[in-house]
Structure 1
Amino acid sequence: SSLRLQNINMAAQMATSAGLTCTAAKAPSSNRATRLTARSAYGPRSSKLVCGKTSACTTSKEVCVCHLNKSSVWMRRTPRSLGIASGIDAARTTRSATARAGVAEVEGKEEEIKDEMNKNVTVAEVADQVAMLTELHPDTKLGTYVHFSGGARGILLWRREPLTFCVILEEAKVEKGEKVTCDLNERAGLLVNETSWGSVVGPFVGLSVCDKKPDAKEVVHLINDPPDVPSRFPIDSNMHTGFTAADAFTPVGRGQSMMIESEFAEARTKLGINAVLAQKDTDVRCVYAFTGRDGTQSSTSSQALLRLRADQNVANAPCIVATKEKASAVERYLAACAACSIAEGVRDTGGSSLVVLDDLSCLADMWEVMSSMWHGFMDNEWKQQSIEMAAELEEGEEEQRPMPGSAEEMVDFGGTLVPVEVAERRSFFSAFLQRAARMNGGCDNGSLTILGIVGGRPADSMHGGSGAESVSYGKSSPEAIVAQYTTLSEEQKEKMLAALRAKAAAAEGEAAPARAADVAALPTPIVEEFNSISDGHINLQMSSEGKVVMNLRSSVSRVGNPAAAAAMRRLRTAEVRLQVMQADDETEYSASAETSDLTRKLADQAKSVKALLETDCAAPVLLGEQAVALYALLKAKCAFEQVEPLLAEVRAKHPTILEEVETSGNLNYELEAQLDEIIKAL
């Protein structure tokens, strides 16, 4: 849809520059639509879009004719604010030399036309520090500064046809209908240098104008497009998180976007903090952004801030981006953008960076603000059009037009028909999360890794399994779960409600007492969207002893084995993951109480592995210790109770084993032989 509208707008500009007046004609009554026609100052109405040199049009009528795509001439009427952009799919030039010459001249003036069009921008609506603009050229880059006639400034954040959203920086009052000017050479940027590391900054600190020096090393754009496919390099190196379950079975690669999801703030925040602290002695630069609804004022966030600042004297201390208490959705979203921009500055110079966003609700809340404004404006336009069209309807004829963005309007998104609202929201989320990448830059290919923390429960985590026997979940009623799915029909909701009630009745009396879950958890459909867009997700729960547990069944890394450390690949942890889930399935679904020796061995090994998955996350676990513990369980067939004495022995008397694994990232036959001797002696 966006590409179609851009083509339409370009066709309109070509016609306007040729001295033509474009008008909308009434379509046949059998199909209420808007037909684009072009009327020359000296010629009759035509079903073709006529464009070319003005002199040619007004004198010899030697014109460039752009034929309309026949299948797209008739379309549903769209709001009047689209103007000419409501009738065609694209304009195609004829083969004549005159046509090519006319098009070339118009395309050469594209920037001039864009500047001219952006002089007619006005404010359509203002709410929650966000202004919604009309008539802005669709190719204007996000992150560009705009200037309101009242003196305030803004930054373009997102475009949803036919409107554009921008954040209002100053506290100056912006009125509806106010004129807006836009300089294409002014883009918001952040000043990033060595003083940024180890300090706490706000989302507006360091904002500058990136006009004449876009390549300055210390200035990075606040909002960037995700890297395209040719600019990316396959992810093949590990980002150590210090969380054994994740590093072994759901590895995170450098350049990956990974979601950390849980209903419990304590569990997900601990993993995010440990991931930053695990980079203490590496070459990875870290940025931690407090983007939650309470900023750093909640007990969990304040404890996280203390842990981060305790290590601020190390060489690669993290940069902390924090918002104030009860910050608006816009400020929290800008904090997330600022964190990614700082990390992109590291990535683009060949370094590796890690961004931890402690609450991705900032994206969902920002979308809600923009969506409500867009629907309010478009609904008013739709009603006004209905009044105008009522006079044109013949007797007995009914208007058949869905409201813009309604659940009835379906679009193709990635090969699947989804409601247009869902498609637009997914585009907004993916534009942010796909900033994570490993760049294709030869020997100096930098990377940006994103760990997004999501408060909520995915749909499949309601099934325990794979390390979740002693796990407790926050309670949600079937009615509350169904209410989250706003795009389902009433019949679908009834079926889903009946199934959930039956499941709840069957599980009554079997579940462990529920722990208190977050009151601000995101709806399950939003959690699922984050999961499907990102490169993987880690699902965490809390055990009855208060430990953090990763659910193997509902956690996945789409990068897979290439993202794992060499030591984990040597231990074949991917195969062990499948064996653990297979053992769980055999225990749960076995028709017979009798089990074979092989099944019992798999069950015993699965029990030991799952015990290792439970941790208090007090500190990140070094790769060397993870490798030794897993080697003892998987290769030496030790019991879980024997792992801690082995680690204590290795730390005290054989520290070189741990150091060598940390340095090389791998185990070898010599180290394994040493471990076998230590285990035998113990």
Structure 2
Amino acid sequence: MKFHRGALSVVWASSLVTTLPSVIVPAQAWIPHAQRVSRPIARGVLSVSSGTSRAYSWLTATVLADDNVSSSSNADGRSGTTQPALGHEIAQGTIVSAFPGGLTAVHIDDSWTSTDEADAVPSSVEAVSVATPKVSKPVTVTAAGDLLGMHVGFPNGSVGVVVAHRPPVVFVYNDDDLASKDGPVKVFDSRATVTLSEQAKVVDVFGRYAVKGEESTSNDQKLEKGAKERVMFAPIPQVKDIALINTPMLTGITMVDALAPIGRGQNMLVIGHDVHDMRGLATDFLQTQLRDNAGVQCVYAAIQDPKDVQQRLQRAGLDDQVHVVIPTLRAKGKDPASKAAEAVAMAGTACAIAESYALDQGKHAVVVIDTIDLHKTLWDATTRVLVDVFGVDAVVEGDRNGAASSEMRAFYSSLIQRAGQYNQRRGGGSVTLVLLTSIPPANADETTVFEETEFASSNDKVKTRIQMLVSKKIPLTVANLQKIGNSHIPSASEGQRRLVLQHVDDLISMSDGQIWFDERLQAAGQSPPMDPQRSVTRIGIGADTPSRADAPALRRIVERLRLDLSQAASMDGADVTSKASQSQIRKQQALLLAMYQPAGAGGRRLSESCTAVLAASEGYLDQAVDHGALAGTQQGRDVVQALLEHVNAVSPASMREIDSSLDINTETRRDLTDAIASHF
């Protein structure tokens, strides 16, 4: 048994489910016979009581009775309130590993069996209506039959929440770093919940209100009558509850809305090496929603750098309109695994807030998860614990070599697939997820000597030249590789980069689309540095359905946009002396000029995006490009800004028509073209 000082522990529980239920694990994620592992699996079926009363208030964000909220503390000085009623004990276990900062691994005791008849409860849980003084019966929705999201009580009285369950071990997170390894750990049949608060816009991972100007949080608050609690780790929407995605969630970023549009109820990955660019896009997206779509609710899980996120929102005037989930203030000394566990819980809290709007009020909500990378960090930590406790045969080969096992895909899907457009029977609301993920830049180290195996993916010509250097015992340095004309120079961390890219590929296979920011395009001055060949939405692609994520108006204007950009990109470094080639390059430059938008500068209206792209497509920006008005230059920005101001002034009715209908007809397009021509 291995134990690390701190609050991350592993607990061994009994009466666990033998297989993950379909509501959490998609069909493709079932573990085949060949991938079964040799760690023990506990017996029985575990479910959640439909009669469970209000969840532990320390783990719940509550509606404020007034604005004057101060922090509260327990006798030991920790923030919190009185011990809650946790429901029925359904399993016991012992801590087998703990990490500083809140993550604990608990081995569920397979020999422990509850005699309480209340353990045989329906596997369902839904929003709990908070009334005073009673709690009304919750509405039923099928939920997971495993321990994800369950409350876990430690011998010292602290309570955590299960953030990952890999039978027979549960991984529990709380922000009490004093969890004791002595005595049994108890798992209860109540799930951690979050209660929507309109006044508490900034909450921590446990939903506690962050008091402005104070390094503390408070949850000593009263619940308003009728307030709804939402399960932190809710099941993914079922097919019977969702409708087709057919309404765009415009980002205001012309290139994104044209090439990789986001639909209402969709999940979308944003991939790149520069987190500032990605955060800028996320901020612009939220700003566009709050400007153009009355009633859209925005939630931001500020996992990586909450101060930077809050400052961005404040500069954009969004700080009082966006729900922000921040890490707990006791962040010092946290092990990376504990930070990752908190990040997973933060993502769950953010989704729960959004689901409260979507399912309880029929509204549309957008959730930005600042990074999904820490999910992989937590998964790797759980794998190491399983190997330490049970040996290497306790995990499948995919987990050992960094690939995506069925079990890991189920873990990710429990977050990614929480996005959805609900049907009218479920209120007609939606949850749209934007998930940021980072990749390391491919920087070469001039002093590094590379191995021949690092060029295994290169073409035969490069391999032949590499073999020639190796045969002559010439070191594979950057300088020598450049001498033989090798354009692919691995970085010193190429192996790690490949693992990250493999992880990104796994995420892409589970998502509805991706926006890929390329470092080469950023270095060339393109903004956003979006790769048109790797950025795509998969909503409505390859299926004979009316499901679409894009706005019809922009779709009708940009029909050849991706092809034009790709053809021009393929000419990079080629002979462009012919008139046809020069014309193609000029058109590419005009399109990039029309779509140039610095990160965080704010989004355009749909009519403005249509105007800019139409002007470039019809050749009205060619002359400006020939005179040096390129994307990223002040001259270029002035040209586009003047054009948009002119068209807004000359054709306000047509612009309003596009914005309201999201479409463009022949007459409106003709009017827009005439307005553009009159400017030049």
TM-score interval, smaller chain: 0.5 to 0.7
Q: Tell me the residue number matched to 1:372.
A: 384
For residues 421 and 662 of structure 1, what CA distance do their matches in structure 2 show? 42
For residues 77 and 127 of structure 1, what CA distance do their matches in structure 2 show? 25
Which residue type is aligned with residue 353 of structure 1?
Answer: A
Q: Tell me the residue number matched to 1:182.
A: 187
C-alpha contact 1:127 1:373 (8 A) present in aligned 2: no
Deviations 1:247-278 (A, max 9, x none): 11110111111111111122111111111111
C-alpha contact 2:594 2:640 (8 A) present in aligned 1: no
Q: Tell me the residue number matched to 2:416.
A: 433
C-alpha contact 2:18 2:41 (8 A) present in aligned 1: no
Which residue type is aligned with residue 405 of structure 1?
Answer: V
Q: Between the two proteins, what is the percent identity of the paired residues?
A: 22
Unaligned runs of 5+ in 2: 1-15, 22-31, 51-86, 111-143, 210-217, 467-477, 542-547, 625-638
Q: Which residue, 609, 612, 623 being the options, matches 1:629? A: 612
CA drift of 1:345 comes to: 0.9
Aligned 1:544-623 pairs, distance under 5 A? 544-545=524-525, 547-559=527-539, 562-571=548-557, 573-585=558-570, 587-588=571-572, 597=580, 601-617=583-599, 618-623=601-606
Q: Tell me the residue number matched to 2:83.
A: none
Which residue type is aligned with residue 647 of structure 1?
Answer: L
For residues 247 and 540 of structure 1, what CA distance do their matches in structure 2 show? 15
Question: Secondary structure at the residue paired with 1:218?
Answer: strand
For residues 9 and 427 of structure 1, what CA distance do their matches in structure 2 show? 9
1:304 to 1:644, Cα distance in 2 relative to 1, 3 A: closer
Which residue type is aligned with residue 394 of structure 2?
Answer: P
Deviations 1:363-404 (A, max 9, x none): 22222332222221122xxxxxxxxxxxxxxxxxxxxxx733
1:670 to 1:408, Cα distance in 2 relative to 1, 3 A: closer
For residues 9 and 539 of structure 1, what CA distance do their matches in structure 2 show? 33
Q: Tell me the residue number matched to 1:407.
A: 397
C-alpha contact 1:117 1:136 (8 A) present in aligned 2: no
Which residue type is aligned with residue 152 of structure 1?
Answer: S
Q: Which residue, 645, 654, 657 being the options, matches 1:660? A: 657
Of structures 1 and 2, the one scoring higher in RCO (CA 8 A, sep 6+) is 2
Q: Tell me the residue number matched to 2:430.
A: 447
Aligned 1:510-529 pairs, distance under 5 A? 523-529=500-506
1:428 to 1:482, Cα distance in 2 relative to 1, 3 A: farther
1:255 to 1:673, Cα distance in 2 relative to 1, 3 A: same
Deviations 1:505-524 (A, max 9, x none): 4699999999xx9xx99922
Q: Tell me the residue number matched to 1:78.
A: 38
Deviations 1:152-209 (A, max 9, x none): 2121222113322221343332206x3122331x22111103214xx22211234999
For residues 399 and 413 of structure 2, what CA distance do their matches in structure 1 show? 21
Query: Aligned pair 1:475/2:449, yes or no?
Result: no
Q: Tell me the residue number matched to 2:103.
A: 130
CA drift of 1:140 comes to: 3.8
Q: Which residue, 510, 516, 527 being the options, matches 1:533? A: 510
C-alpha contact 1:190 1:342 (8 A) present in aligned 2: yes
For residues 196 and 20 of structure 2, what CA distance do their matches in structure 1 show? 37
Question: Secondary structure at the residue paired with 1:605?
Answer: helix
Which residue type is aligned with residue 193 of structure 1?
Answer: S
CA drift of 1:435 comes to: 0.8
For residues 677 and 330 of structure 1, what CA distance do their matches in structure 2 show? 57
For residues 175 and 271 of structure 1, what CA distance do their matches in structure 2 show? 44
Question: Secondary structure at the residue paired with 1:616?
Answer: coil
Question: Secondary structure at the residue paired with 2:647?
Answer: helix
CA drift of 1:637 comes to: 5.1
Q: Which residue, 648, 651, 654 being the options, matches 2:648? A: 651
Question: Secondary structure at the residue paired with 2:306?
Answer: coil
Question: Secondary structure at the residue paired with 1:321?
Answer: strand
Aligned 1:185-584 pairs, distance under 5 A? 186-196=190-200, 199-206=201-208, 217-281=227-291, 282=293, 283-292=295-304, 295-297=305-307, 300-301=308-309, 303-308=311-316, 310-312=317-319, 317-323=321-327, 324=329, 328-348=339-359, 349-379=361-391, 403-405=393-395, 407=397, 422-441=405-424, 444-456=427-439, 474-476=442-444, 495-496=456-457, 505=481, 523-541=500-518, 542-545=522-525, 547-559=527-539, 562-571=548-557, 573-584=558-569
The number of residues matched between the two structures is 519
Structure with the largest fraction of strand: 1
Q: Tell me the residue number matched to 2:135.
A: none
Which residue type is aligned with residue 343 of structure 2?
Answer: R
C-alpha contact 1:155 1:169 (8 A) present in aligned 2: no
Which residue type is aligned with residue 151 of structure 1?
Answer: G
1:625 to 1:180, Cα distance in 2 relative to 1, 3 A: same
Deviations 1:269-328 (A, max 9, x none): 111111111112313110112111xx324xx546424325x3345xxx111112246662
C-alpha contact 2:527 2:598 (8 A) present in aligned 1: yes
CA drift of 1:669 comes to: 2.7
TM (normalized to structure 2)?
Answer: 0.66
Query: Aligned pair 1:164/2:161, yes or no?
Result: no
Unaligned runs of 5+ in 1: 11-70, 86-105, 380-401, 411-417, 458-472, 484-490
Q: Tell me the residue number matched to 2:145.
A: 139
Which residue type is aligned with residue 561 of structure 2?
Answer: V
C-alpha contact 2:595 2:612 (8 A) present in aligned 1: no
CA drift of 1:494 comes to: 6.8
Q: Tell me the residue number matched to 1:173.
A: 179
C-alpha contact 2:270 2:434 (8 A) present in aligned 1: yes
C-alpha contact 2:515 2:534 (8 A) present in aligned 1: yes
Structure whose CA Rg is larger: 1
C-alpha contact 1:118 1:135 (8 A) present in aligned 2: no
C-alpha contact 1:284 1:353 (8 A) present in aligned 2: yes
1:345 to 1:84, Cα distance in 2 relative to 1, 3 A: closer
For residues 354 and 449 of structure 2, what CA distance do their matches in structure 1 show? 37
Which residue type is aligned with residue 556 of structure 2?
Answer: R
Question: Secondary structure at the residue paired with 1:280?
Answer: helix
C-alpha contact 1:9 1:84 (8 A) present in aligned 2: no
Question: Secondary structure at the residue paired with 1:258?
Answer: strand
Structure with the largest fraction of helix: 1
For residues 640 and 350 of structure 1, what CA distance do their matches in structure 2 show? 49
1:76 to 1:534, Cα distance in 2 relative to 1, 3 A: closer
CA drift of 1:439 comes to: 1.4
1:628 to 1:183, Cα distance in 2 relative to 1, 3 A: same
For residues 247 and 125 of structure 1, what CA distance do their matches in structure 2 show? 47
For residues 306 and 272 of structure 2, what CA distance do their matches in structure 1 show? 19
C-alpha contact 1:566 1:666 (8 A) present in aligned 2: yes
TM (normalized to structure 1)?
Answer: 0.66
CA drift of 1:420 comes to: 7.4
Which residue type is aligned with residue 508 of structure 2?
Answer: N
Question: Secondary structure at the residue paired with 1:134?
Answer: strand
Question: Secondary structure at the residue paired with 2:193?
Answer: strand
